[in-house]
Amino acid sequence: MHIIYNAVTSLDGRTTPGGVDYDLMSRADKYRINELRGSVDALMTDVETIKLKDSSLSVRSRVDEPIKVVVDDKGEISEDARVFQGDGRVVVFFSRSASKKKKKGGLEERDNVEVIVSGDYVVNIGSVLTALHNRGVETLLVESYNSLGRRMLNEGFIDELYISIMPVLLGEGHTIFDRKIEKEISLSLEGILQYGNQVILHYLVKK
């Protein structure tokens, strides 16, 4: 499986000021991300990003939307989240501890939603990727404002990165990787895009 990580950050490496919803993306970047989403088999995010942005993860350029995947360690997702709207297929991963606290029935009763339990206290990312592969996913786009991108980089799952740097200094808020990367990861610069004052860096992970 080929896995792409996409992130939008300020020049000082912040994604959200004070942990509140803040739209860093320009109109051009929203178009770019829509095209990127439309090129993959599945989109994956975490429940923290859903709670912050309440994104539908929709793709305007495709009739058959990619599978939407949500990693939810603690079972915190709302059944009213926009990601469940429409007919697109959604797969939610809970840990075993979360599944004991949260009644899954409301989600599992929906025709387009599948709930999978993996991992004791946090969702096992390797099991997530295996489950997606078994469902025909060959290309996966990861979008996260929290720990998911860092976890996947640490475990060696990411193959490609797009880092969009916006021309603003926020000074506070979440950093692009909420904690330190646990090992050195070498990157190869594949290309640089520019939209006005905004720069998008495209990297391949050296493996």
| Terminal CA-CA length for the chain | 14
- Could you tell me if residue 2 is left (phi over 0), alpha (psi between -120 and 50 degrees) or otherwise beta? beta
Contact between 115 and 94 under an 8 Å Cβ cutoff? The reply is: yes
Query: Is 199:193 a contact under the CB 8 Å cutoff?
Result: yes
Q: In whole angstroms, what is the distance from residue 19 CA to residue 74 CA?
A: 19
CATH assignment of the domain containing 84: 3.40.430.10
- 18 pLDDT exceeds 60? no
For the segment 63-84, the average pLDDT, to the nearest whole number, is: 90
Q: Which residue has the higher pLDDT, 6 or 12?
A: 6
Work out the mean pLDDT of the chain and round it to a whole number: 86
Q: What pLDDT is recorded for position 106?
A: 73
- Check whether 56 has a pLDDT greater than 90: no
Domain range for 88: 2-205
Tally Cβ neighbours within 10 Å of residue 26: 17
pTM for this model (two decimals):
0.89
Number of domains the chain contains: 1
Contact 39, 6 (CB under 8 A): no
Q: Give pLDDT tens digits for 87-109.
A: 789 999 999 888 666 655 578 77
- Average pLDDT, stretch 26-52? 88
Tell me the pLDDT tens digit for each residue of 120-175.
999 999 999 999 999 999 999 999 876 898 899 999 999 999 999 988 888 877 77
